Amino acid sequence: MAAAAAPAPAESNVEFIRARSDKREYRRVVLPNALECLLISDSETDKAAACMEVGVGSFSDPEGLEGLAHFLEHMLFYASEKYPGEQDYTKYITEHGGSCNAYTSSETTNFYFDVNVANFEEALDRFAQFFIKPLMSQDAVLREIKAVDSEHKKNLLSDGWRMYQLQKHLASKDHPYHKFSTGSWETLETKPKERGLDIRQELLKFYENYSANLMHLVVYGKESLDCIQSFVERLFSDIKNTDQRSFKCPSQPLSEQHMQLVIKAIPISEGDYLKISWPVTPNIHFYKEGPSRYLSHLIGHEGEGSIFHIIKELGWAMNLSAGEGSDSAQYSFFSISMRLTDAGHEHMEDIIGLVFKYILLLKENGIHEWIFDELVAINETEFHYQDKVHPISYVTDTVSTMRLFPPEEWLVGASLPSKYAPNRINMILDELSAERVRILWESKKFKGSTDSVEPWYSTAYSVENVTPSMIQQWIQKAPTEKLCIPKPNIFIPKDLSLKEAHEKVKYPAILRKTPLSRLWYKPDMLFSTPKVHIIIDFHCPLTSHSPEAVISTSLFVDLLADYLNAYAYDAQIAGLFYSIYRTSAGFQVSVGGYNDKMRILLDAIMKHISNFEVKPNRFCALKETAVKDYQNFKFSQPYSQASYYLSLILEDQKWPLAEKLEALSKLEPDSLAKFMPHLLSKTFLECYIHGNIEPNEATSIVQEIEDTIFNTPNSVFKSMSPSQYLIKRVIMLENELKCYHQIEGLNQKNENSSVVQYIQVHLDDALSNIKLQLFALIASQPAFNQLRTVEQLGYIAGLSLRSDCGVWALEVVIQSTVKDPSHLDARIDEFFKMFESKIHELSDKDFKRNVKSLVDSKLEKFKNLWEESHFYWGEIEAGTLKFDRVESEVALLRELKKEEFIEFFDQHIRLGAPQRKTVSVQVFGGEHLAEFKKAIAEADTPKTYRITDIFGFKRSRPLYRSLKGGPGRITMD
């Protein structure tokens, strides 16, 4: 299906199918070595990007060398003959405002990066050398095997990885799908050594598969197409073309013995999951007809009469998704996945029966052209009004279409089905049969009743047969509730016209202010798109005064979303998105998308809020799920646990998970019903409306919301006085004191330990901000290189900025199986000690280069309405109102002297600095219990303090002032 690569240099004038709103220029070029390239010129971009997809993935791993393709992906980052310095590539990219990564899938390996536009050519040269002459030096081999193994160990307790591998394990042994793909110490070091293999030689041999004729390149720059083409021809023409054949995997990985099965598996975390799958003909072969898209729309629907709506109302499931997915054009699976409740676990057969009942209904009811036309209309609007994304996302998305589609369809891929073909839809529907089904059922309730173990992740499971006659019985005893196809979608936008902005408005302004609400408004001046973003922030000071209040607010928000789901699902399909979530000071409603039908959705949400009642059946289902989610925190990664303890130490209004779980377990429907009027009796609405909307309409929306919320006869909502405005604040650590909090990991089966070292620096202030950001820019790549690459402490290692309520800090995170947290913490200190000389010896040239890189990153334009909106809302939410933050910080950066920067480092960051304020949170995993016992028995050294009682410690510390005023006090004066 892919267009054949030309044998000689070729530049084809392809007429690309493109979005009406897309102003970029495109060109297809095929180099003399048969490398096929897509060039993209965007005169408005601040970042350049590139992505190379190589048609060699884990399916190509030699027998007995599982993970070799993934290992090669790691190794190519190191160094090349032209740039032999280790990490030359990543160092150059990060120093010039960019980022880089790679991933290995079944049939491809993808490498990608972005960088500030001024540095694109040089970054591209370093990138091209991966595919021309990488060094793959012997001394890097062992280190990177350890990195691959550390990545594997991180995944060992991830149910996503475990269940994926289990499904692969229960497939034909002679199909590459069956393989273990990521690699480990055992597959890349122990076993090859036993067989007398030199892993580096095997790596070099495997690299020979990397032939230019199997590669696709997307290059995205600011320059003209001719200029980008000259870069590409000069830098990539030396990639060898050894005319390799592209990997073609055998068709389906499931034979008859792998179907008609129920696989019962035991997960690590709490919660029951059901996945019903069928092998189907890949949709890619009929992407113009889109048969799987039509079926996933109906089977995955959540409106009235859908599978999900019925099983949700019966209290059996919490979510459902349906669709086709695959890594390959040769085989595919259509799957329906859901999270079950405890009651749903008991009714598994009824649920499967209901699913097959619906499939039967679709067959009997026939295929409907109006449904297909509705999907075509939705997809076309979505394609033509798509938001611009970051170049790095655009190149990685686009490269994946080059292998599979003719060049004119590279920009659109399979996203615009246009041919109504009921026979194709019926063909896939016939493949969703009882004869071809396989069911994966995850539950801890299967403990003690399994008889097999998957070899790579040690997942306990058992397999039972399920015959078509059994399924027939399940269909007959399934619920009799009325299944039906959806009604026409009222939310499909019709009016996509653009409103005229009558005056140039640079920043949000207060348009309306009452004792009940305040409206911030900004028309869209940048994107000319028929979309709007509305945020209604319900400020309720009683939301977080106790663990009971916090979990009651959370459950109220969950119930609201649950009640709205069947009605609002159509809106989401039609490109209108909403979210309702708890905040530290109440809850927030956010609605975004096409403005045409926005008010209908917003009105429905507000009516649900003002008429809220507790439905006991939904309360019980949501409470059960929430309890399991809290319990699952103990199975989270140790670095996530360390981050949680750090937040608990820093934030003055934060309740421990254990207390919230206890409060949740005692919460009943009537106590929530009593709490809600109490919570809502103090409310202030902070509103933000931004986009394709006129000021009078924005005003009338907020007036309508006020009327719905506050001015109905039985409303429990009451206004809030300014003195009740809730402010979250952060504790101030002590100068020259290092605090420790050492604790055992919550899941001792997890071998990983973690440390988070937090260095608190200052409360939001433009001059201090830029100095700290500059340090992070200079130090982040060397920290990663030293802690992960050189010292091999763990796969997760990094230095980044952190801000809590406007208090800025540095944070260094490491997760490791090889060393305990005390050792990791000492290595972080050692890094800062070593890095001191680097800062003091910083040349003027390097200082100016880093300042320029930070300036370039700050001046990066918003890509879409949501990015712009989140920036301005962030300023309003924090109370800082620095809408000109970027301009003011850039002006200060341009004046910053190297001596001032070094003085800042010496005062706040270097080890032993007079104003260095540090806390180190250390989570000890199962491998390091002996070290934990030793660590907690040690006496405190001078200038250190051991936090054993987090709440006692917090009470003893002063708080940073808040940046936020009250409703009566934030003004734009």
Q: Is 685:497 a contact under the CB 8 Å cutoff?
A: no
Q: Pick the catalytic residue: 144, 324, 686, 791?
A: 144
Q: Is 814:794 a contact under the CB 8 Å cutoff?
A: yes
Residue 346 annotated to the active site? no
The neighbour count for residue 500, using CB atoms within 10 Å, is: 7
What whole-number distance in Å separates Cα of residue 682 and Cα of residue 468?
A: 58
Q: Is 521:509 a contact under the CB 8 Å cutoff?
A: yes
Q: Is 169:454 a contact under the CB 8 Å cutoff?
A: yes
List Cβ neighbours of 683 (8 Å cut-off, separation of 6 or more).
Answer: 516, 538, 539, 540, 586, 709, 710, 717, 718, 719, 720
Q: Which ranges of 286-334 would DSSP assign to H, the alpha helix? A: 291-299, 307-313
Q: Pick the catalytic residue: 53, 66, 73, 454?
A: 73
- 696 closest CA partner among 577, 537, 519, 526: 519
Q: 965-972 long-range CB contacts below 8 Å, 24 or more apart?
A: 965/725, 965/879, 966/722, 966/723, 966/725, 967/515, 967/518, 967/539, 967/684, 967/686, 967/720, 967/722, 967/725, 968/722, 969/722, 970/518, 970/879, 970/881, 971/510, 972/509, 972/510, 972/881
- 607 closest CA partner among 687, 714, 531, 518: 714
Q: Which ranges of 272-390 would DSSP assign to H, the alpha helix? A: 291-299, 307-313, 342-346, 348-365, 369-384
Phi/psi-derived region of residue 262, left when phi > 0, alpha when psi is between -120 and 50, beta in every other case: beta
What whole-number distance in Å separates Cα of residue 301 and Cα of residue 573?
A: 9
Q: How many CA atoms lie within 13 A of 854 on its CB side?
A: 26
Q: Is 661 helix (H, G, I), strand (E, B) or coil?
A: helix
CA dihedral 3, 14, 32, 202 (to 10 degrees): -40
Phi, psi of 460 (to 5 degrees): -80, 135
185: tokens are: 């110490």
DSSP secondary structure, 475-499, as one string? HHHS------PPPP-TTS----PPP
What whole-number distance in Å separates Cα of residue 377 and Cα of residue 575?
A: 11
- Greatest C-alpha distance within the chain: 83
DSSP secondary structure, 783-798, as one string? HHIIIIIIS---SEEE
Beta-bridged to residue 580, according to DSSP, are 589
For the four alpha carbons of 296, 302, 305 and 310, in that order, the dihedral sign comes to: positive
What whole-number distance in Å separates Cα of residue 413 and Cα of residue 287?
A: 8
Beta-bridged to residue 37, according to DSSP, are 29, 217
What whole-number distance in Å separates Cα of residue 920 and Cα of residue 908?
A: 16
Q: How many CA atoms lie within 13 A of 583 on its CB side?
A: 22
Q: Is 216:402 a contact under the CB 8 Å cutoff?
A: yes
The sheet that has 261-265: what strands, in order across it? Answer: 317-325, 332-340, 272-280, 438-442, 261-265, 460-465, 452-453
Q: Is 704:609 a contact under the CB 8 Å cutoff?
A: no
What whole-number distance in Å separates Cα of residue 799 and Cα of residue 801?
A: 7
Residue 66 annotated to the active site? no
Q: Which residue numbers are catalytic?
A: 73, 144
